[in-house]
């Protein structure tokens, strides 16, 4: 019996060992491979994983650590779970619809309509400008033209002057007249002296016939035109040859266009240029290029291209913006990549577009491009895009605002992965208590504030004042007041004079931002639900922040942030006070938020 038990035990052990040898190897390899695959996969995920803060979702870092704002441990970002790259952003279908975001696929073809489009301004024709001077010294007794803009004709009386020198010269004439038979040379010399003072033969004969001296003598216009500068007042003493008025003849004016360095080879004198203006949308005016500036502006990398416009009907006013189109321009290459002009945003030396990176999802990423010629309503893209790329053509600033809010690469943040704080590249902004950091920061040219006039800044401030009324209405949960305030924002937007922006870059920026501000303000005015109003207020705040950072309003403004707004993604707003009053939650969470930066 004991022997049988031993035989059975040995057989069982041998069977188990054989089964392991036959089947166990594959199982072990499978387990090992699975472990290796999981390890490699986890490494791949870890390499693409971004880390964020649960309270400050705009923080994005490629590795775990502490939040630089609150010190909390960073957690894996949801975007990593969605398979997004570090600088991709995903928008909801609702946000896409509200912002009317549209895209188009980059195509390949000839240079638009084989034309070159230039932007410019109407200027006075310097060749027809004149300065009206007085030809004798004296005191101005009377001015007959008292304001700029008045039209004068050749021979029109402009002023009356009392001149002791002229009084003495007239007395000499009367004396010489009585001696002209015996001293004809003296008589002739006296008359010539008066002619040098621009007195006509008729005036000299009248003095001689009257036989008495004329004390106050008139000054007549020597040219016809419009007074552009009045340089004297009644009672002033003037010297011989001193200017009284500057007079311009507007029968012809100059249209001066800016052409970029890479467009110079396409231009030559004598080319026909078709000129259009917003003032006369249905009219096209033909002119010829009369001058191409031989000097390149090293700051803007442009040259001036000039054409003379016939202005006998007084249609063109100096300072008006015009566009010129030169047809028959041939491209150097057989085919080019072009995009609609609405797809491109400019900031300093950078031009950027947003491409849709996933064909079936609203996922976007910023892409820097190198612009070529402007062809009609399109731009030639020299670098940065390929045929087949899908780009945002409408609502580009809304996509950029979303990228800024999420700390991704954007127009104002070339690096990405940064919070919206002053010392990390946002224009004109300073963290509270971080002036030393600001001094050490090397801001690039793209973050410079654009130089604009005080008048434009004051008009922009009126828009901001309406925004503050809107913010306060949302703080107080008042839908009706929010509608009234948003209407005020729209009205003040309409008053902003774009002609005050002489710089092309500033003009293009404002045209795009103004459109987005108007869309958001109009949407808030039409909404009777405060949650919907607050959704549009987020976009309005982002675009107004961009405009204030670009142009300034001569006032300190605080940029404030609520991490719980916008579905816990966070949202910013602007305020005149440091004290937090949250417009996204109103009275329910009035103090939720913090001051993030100061726009000086």
Q: 132-136, 225-229, 499-503, 520-524: lowest mean pLDDT where?
A: 499-503
Question: What is the overall mean pLDDT for the chain?
Answer: 78
| pLDDT, mean of residues 468-482 | 92
Of 548, 511, 566, 568, which Cα lies nearest the Cα of 397?
511
Asked if 211 contacts 155 with a C-beta cutoff of 8 angstroms, the reply is no
As a CATH number, domain 127-248 is 2.40.50.100
Token pair listed for 571: 């949202």
Q: pLDDT, tens digit, for every residue of 113-166?
A: 567 888 889 999 888 888 988 888 889 999 999 888 899 998 899 999 998 888
**Could you report the per-residue pLDDT of 272-309, keeping only the tens digit for each?**
999 999 888 889 999 999 999 999 888 777 899 999 99
Q: Which of residues 410 and 5 earns the better pLDDT score?
A: 410
Rounded Cα distance, 228 and 225, in Å: 9
- Both tokens of 47, joined, read 């390499």
pLDDT at 112 over 70: no
Residue 81 pLDDT greater than 60, yes or no:
no
Q: What's the rounded Cα separation, in Å, for the pair 218 and 158?
A: 7
As a whole number of angstroms, the distance between CA 76 and CA 44 comes to 14
**pLDDT digits over 197-251, tens only?**
777 788 888 888 888 888 888 888 888 889 989 999 998 999 988 899 999 888 8
CB 491 within 8 A of CB 463: no
Res. 447 pLDDT band, cuts 50 70 90? very low
486 vs 409 pLDDT, higher one: 486
According to CATH, the topology of domain 92-114+333-394 is: 2.40.420
Within 10 angstroms of residue 164's Cβ, the number of other Cβ atoms is: 12
Q: Does position 392 have pLDDT exceeding 60, yes or no?
A: yes
The helix-helix angle for 396-405 and 504-526 (nearest 10°) equals 80
Answer yes or no: is pLDDT of 532 > 60: yes
What is the predicted pLDDT for the residue at 9?
60
pLDDT at 404 over 80: no
Q: Above 80 in pLDDT, residue 328?
A: no
Task: Work out the average pLDDT over 186-198.
Answer: 83
Closest residue by Cα to residue 520 from 466, 475, 454, 462: 466
The confidence score (pLDDT) of residue 347 equals: 65
The size of the chain, in residues, is 600
Sign of CA dihedral 13, 18, 21, 24: negative
Q: Do domains 115-125+250-327 and 127-248 have the same CATH topology?
A: no
Phi, psi at 297, each rounded to 5°: -75, 110
- Entry pTM: 0.43
Domain boundaries, the chain: 1-48, 49-83, 92-114+333-394, 115-125+250-327, 127-248, 445-599
Q: What is 115-125+250-327's CATH number?
A: 2.40.30.170
CA 492 vs CA 425, 459, 513, 522, 553: distances in Å: 29, 8, 14, 13, 14
Separation between Cα atoms, residue 483 and residue 24, nearest integer Å = 75
Residues 492-513: b if buried by 16+ CB within 10 A, e if exposed: bbeebeeebbeebebbbbbebb
| Residue 16 clears pLDDT 60, i.e. is over it | no
Contact 170, 250 (CB under 8 A): no
575-598, pLDDT tens digit by residue?
999 899 999 999 888 888 888 888
């Amino acid at each position: 019996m004991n022997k049988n038990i031993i035989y059975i035990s040995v057989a069982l052990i041998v069977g188990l060992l054989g089964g392991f040898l036959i089947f166990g190897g594959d199982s072990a390899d499978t387990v090992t491979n699975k472990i290796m695959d999981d390890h490699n996969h986890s490494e791949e995920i870890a390499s693409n994983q971004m880390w964020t803060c649960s309270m400050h979702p705009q923080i994005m870092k490629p590795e775990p650590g502490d939040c630089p704002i609150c010190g909390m441990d960073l957690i894996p970002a949801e975007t990593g779970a969605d398979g997004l790259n570090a600088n991709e952003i995903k928008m909801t279908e609702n946000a896409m619809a509200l912002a009317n975001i549209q895209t188009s696929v980059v195509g390949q073809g000839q240079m638009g309509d084989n034309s070159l489009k230039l932007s410019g301004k109407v200027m006075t024709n310097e060749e027809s400008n004149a300065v009206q001077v007085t030809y004798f010294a004296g005191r101005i007794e009377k001015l007959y033209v008292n304001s700029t803009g008045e039209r004068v004709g050749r021979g029109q009386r402009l002023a009356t002057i009392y001149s002791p020198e002229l009084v003495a010269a007239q007395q000499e004439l009367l004396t010489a007249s009585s001696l002209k038979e015996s001293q004809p040379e003296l008589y002739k010399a006296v008359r010539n002296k008066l002619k040098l003072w621009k007195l006509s033969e008729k005036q000299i004969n009248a003095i001689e016939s009257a036989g008495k001296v004329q004390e106050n003598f008139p000054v007549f216009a020597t040219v016809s035109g419009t007074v552009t500068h009045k340089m004297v007042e009644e009672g002033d003493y003037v010297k011989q040859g001193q200017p009284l008025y500057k007079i311009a003849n507007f029968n012809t004016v100059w249209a001066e266009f800016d052409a970029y360095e890479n467009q110079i080879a396409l231009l030559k004198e004598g080319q026909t240029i078709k000129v259009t203006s917003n003032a006369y949308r249905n009219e096209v005016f033909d002119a010829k290029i009369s001058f191409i500036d031989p000097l390149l502006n090293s700051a803007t990398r442009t040259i001036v291209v000039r054409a003379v416009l016939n202005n006998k009907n007084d249609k063109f006013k100096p300072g008006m913006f015009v566009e010129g189109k030169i047809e028959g321009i041939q491209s150097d290459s057989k085919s080019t990549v072009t995009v609609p002009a609405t797809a491109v945003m400019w900031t300093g030396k950078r031009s950027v577009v947003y491409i849709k990176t996933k064909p079936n999802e609203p996922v976007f990423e910023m892409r820097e491009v190198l612009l070529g010629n402007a062809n009609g309503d399109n731009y030639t893209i020299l670098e940065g895009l390929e045929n087949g790329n899908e780009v945002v053509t409408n609502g580009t600033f809304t996509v950029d605002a979303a990228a800024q809010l999420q700390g991704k690469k954007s127009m104002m943040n070339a690096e990405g992965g940064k919070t919206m704080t002053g010392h990390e590249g946002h224009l004109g902004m300073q963290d509270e208590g971080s002036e030393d950091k600001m001094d050490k920061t090397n801001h690039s040219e793209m973050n410079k504030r654009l130089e604009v006039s005080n008048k434009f800044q004051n008009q922009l401030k009126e828009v901001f004042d309406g925004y503050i009324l809107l913010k306060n209405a949302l703080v107080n949960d008042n839908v009706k007041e929010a509608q009234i305030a948003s209407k005020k924002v729209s009205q003040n937007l309409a008053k902003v004079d774009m002609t005050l922006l002489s710089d092309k870059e500033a003009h293009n920026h404002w045209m795009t931002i103004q459109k987005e501000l108007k869309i958001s303000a109009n949407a808030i005015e039409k909404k009777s639900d405060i949650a919907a109003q607050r959704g549009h207020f987020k976009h309005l705040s982002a675009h107004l922040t961009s405009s204030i950072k670009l142009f300034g309003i001569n006032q300190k403004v605080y940029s404030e942030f609520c991490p719980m707004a916008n579905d816990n993604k966070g949202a910013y707003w602007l305020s005149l006070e440091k004290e937090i009053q949250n417009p996204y939650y109103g009275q329910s969470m009035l103090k939720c938020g913090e001051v993030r930066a100061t726009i000086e």
